Structure 1
Amino acid sequence: MMKLTLLLTASIAGVSAFAPTSQVTTSRTQLNAADLETLRGVGPETGGKVFDPMELAQWAPLDHLRKAELANGRSAMLATVGWSFPQLWTFKGPVDTTDPIDAFFKSDAQWWAQFILICAVGEGIKYRGEVEGKSFTGEIDKEACVDWSGRWAKMDDTQKEDIAMKELKNGRLAMIGMAGYISSVLIAGSVPALS
């Protein structure tokens, strides 16, 4: 628990070192203001506005933020399954806890090596696809970077837009869900449904 607290504190403290100057912030905000109106993801659940609760659009390019949002949303969707699975089915193994944060620190080096390798392969596939002009952000006019089923190429533009919007919204929901899971472990009673 102490290691996690120190890690989070160090991460937050280090972020301020990379904050851009106010002059750069002003020009980026003006550049992004027009782009924000056409960005996918505006809906009734966001109050008809772009989903930017921490106002990060003033600090970074929108395409970078969208890629990060989708990558984190996809990771959160997998993490939600990974968090829930041990709560429903228990099995004997090297990690003997159902607490995911405790399991995180009990995992051995072999697991971490496999995890890093899988992440590296995934990032390599995304990078190669981007160099080849493919998309992993759901751009309608581009070929998908990864299309395991082969369905993306057969869809019309309306279906592609619908799938891309669903992925974006489900990723956002998963990120919020993971925040709830983590806070329920770190702050006892903070999420009544999970206590």
Structure 2
Amino acid sequence: MKTFCAILLAVSGASAFAPAQTGTSSSTRLAATEELAGLRSGAGPETAGQVFDPAGLAEWAPVDHLRKAELSNGRSAMLATVGWLWPKYVGTFESDDVTTLDPIKAIMEADPQWWAQWIIFCGAIEGIKYRAEAEGKSFTGDGPAAIDWTGQWGKMSAAEQEDMAVKELKNARLAMIGMGGFIANYFIPGSVPGMPEGW
């Protein structure tokens, strides 16, 4: 597994030095740039004031689809970050199934019944989210909220909503990068500078 991860990282790292492809038309790049310009970018000091699209995906897929995927995966990564750190610092709930603090081993120890419940729960949330979107609501922070757990979103001003949406976007990106670091350091100890081994 470590060898596979090392090869994967080497190949992806080498692609950063590959020459730019000349086959991509300038009109595709221009269209992607225009779509990104109309989207909440979250550009700031952490991205050197640039739109955050390090892989250039906006040239290959619809930008609104990419934003929905970014937020959905980012929200999952924020929860996963808590799940990764909680057992190490707080401990675990009483369980006869999961007996380890190791987050990867815990995945395999969880009872299949728990996984079935989790998949049904996630499916229900996705169903609610997409039904709300069909009704004109949004789960990306543009307009009425598809799911508003606290009931506070509708009470905020437009400026407060925009500020909250940008914060969520930046935290989602940070959580995805953080989870990538946790997983890389788990399978390839020492691959993330400053992170303790086995953390």
TM-score calculated relative to the size of structure 2? 0.81
Deviations 1:19-45 (A, max 9, x none): xxx989765433221122232211111
* Structure 1: gaps spanning 5 or more residues: 13-21
Counterpart residue type for residue 30 of structure 1: L
Amino acid in structure 2 at the alignment position of 1:168: L
Tell me whether 1:180 sits opposite 2:177 in the alignment. no
Structure 2 counterpart of 1:165? 166
Deviations 1:67-125 (A, max 9, x none): 00000110000000001111113345311111111212222211110110111011001
Alpha-carbon RMSD: 2.4
SS of equivalent to 1:97: coil
> In 2, Cα distance between the equivalents of 1:61 and 1:169?
20
What is aligned with 2:19? none
Q: Whose helix proportion is higher, 1 or 2?
A: 1
Which of 102, 105, 123 is residue 102 of structure 1 equivalent to?
105
Give percent identity, aligned residues only. Answer: 55
Aligned pair in 2 of structure 1 residues 26, 61: CA closer, same or farther (>3 Å)?
farther
Answer yes or no: is the 8 Å Cα contact 1:28–1:61 preserved in 2. Answer: no
For residue 194 of structure 1, give the secondary structure of its aligned residue in structure 2: coil
More deviation in 40-49 or 86-95?
A: 86-95
Are 2:32 and 2:63, in contact at CA under 8 Å, matched by a contact in 1? yes
User: In the TM superposition, what are the counterparts of 1:6-17 in structure 2 within 5 Å?
Assistant: none
Residue 17 of structure 2 corresponds to: none
Distance 1:83 1:25 in 2: 43
CA contact (8 A) 1:28 1:60 kept: no
Quote the Cα distance in structure 2 between the aligned partners of 1:114 and 1:25: 47
Taking a change above 3 Å as real, the CA distance of residues 49 and 82 of structure 1, as seen in their structure-2 partners, is same
| Larger relative contact order (CA 8 Å, sep ≥ 6) | 2
Q: In 2, distance between residues paired with 1:33 and 1:178?
A: 28
Task: Write the letter of the residue equivalent to 1:194.
Answer: P
The answer (yes or no) to whether the contact 2:32–2:58 under 8 Å persists in 1 is yes
Q: 2:75–2:172: 8 Å Cα contact kept in structure 1?
A: yes
Q: Is the 8 A contact 1:76 1:171 kept in 2?
A: yes
Figure out how many residues of one structure are paired with residues of the other and give that number.
Answer: 178
Structure 2 unmatched ranges of 5 or more = 13-21
> After the TM superposition, which parts of structure 1 deviate over 4 Å for at least 4 consecutive aligned residues?
22-28
How much does 1:194 deviate? 2.8
Structure 2 CA distance for aligned equivalents of residues 25 and 124 of structure 1? 38
